[in-house]
Amino acid sequence: MKAWRNESSFPLAICAILAFLMTTLLVADDPVTLQHERMVADQIESRGIRNPDILRVMRSTPRHLFVPTNVRSMAYEDRPLPIGYRATISQPYIVALMTELLAPAKKHRVLEIGTGSGYQAAILGQLAAEVYTVEIVPELARSAAKTLRELGYTNITVRQGDGYKGWPERAPFDGIMVTAAPPELPEALITQLSRGGRLVAPIGSVWDQELIVIEKKADGTIKRRSVCPVSFVPMKPAGR
């Protein structure tokens, strides 16, 4: 009597089951994977971010590879982290919230001001067609470009320069995200926003900032709303 219709498939089935069990155990045992999963569930989903595409990229982007080795063990914690040169990588929830407010789409061209570690650019790059990102500190621009290249993000271009000027050669942008806080919204960025486009930025002084969303309507008029208080590193004035 045959329990298996095709006897040769028995060892194969056993191998497949063993491989599945080993992969499951390895993933469950990997502390980074566990912390990463928890970050999305406890910090992002639980605070109301529901967009499945944003949750997916927040789950799959290796945040620990964007931070210096001395803070790597804290990469998935509910906080911003220092990345050198008085810059910080934003708290994961703030990255997700700003991404949701910007609402990037697969056909969009997006500008980011304040590349920092390159992490926010990596998130945007997976949701938009092209990302252009400007960083004023040469060392950060260089290391972010290297990280993004090594991780295979091919649609993100990093430039060292002054974010107050935007990136006129690549304008207009469907979305602009500013990740350092200027005291007021730079005029050049509003000019470089396309009609129907959105801009998300922290605006204010070191102690008193609010996250704002600007929408440029089809007729060119600007609608501005405030979302919540935030705390970002100040945007360095031009020429400093």
Contacts to ligand SAH by CB under 6 A = 85, 87-90, 113-114, 116-117, 119-120, 134-137, 140, 162-164, 179-180, 233, 235-236
* Shortest reach from residue 166's CB to ligand SAH, in Å: 10
User: Is 143 an active-site residue?
Assistant: no
101 or 235, CB closer to ligand SAH? Answer: 235
30 or 208, CB closer to ligand SAH? Answer: 208
Per annotation, catalytic residue among 60, 73, 90, 205? 90
Residue bearing tokens 């990093």:
158
Q: Which structure tokens are listed for 149? A: 């290249």
- What is the distance between the alpha carbons of residues 215 and 199, in angstroms, rounded to a whole number? 7
The answer to whether 133 and 158 have CB atoms below 8 angstroms apart is yes
Q: What is the 3-state secondary structure (H, E, C) of 10-33?
A: HHHHHHHHHHHHHHHHHHHHCHHH
* Shortest reach from residue 238's CB to ligand SAH, in Å: 7
* Shortest reach from residue 22's CB to ligand SAH, in Å: 35
Residue type, 150: E
The answer to whether 191 and 199 have CB atoms below 8 angstroms apart is no
Peptide bond between residue 172 and the one before it cis (omega within 30 degrees of 0): yes
CB atoms within 10 A of CB 55: 17
* Shortest reach from residue 73's CB to ligand SAH, in Å: 18
180 or 230, CB closer to ligand SAH? Answer: 180
94 or 214, CB closer to ligand SAH? Answer: 94
Residues that are catalytic: 90
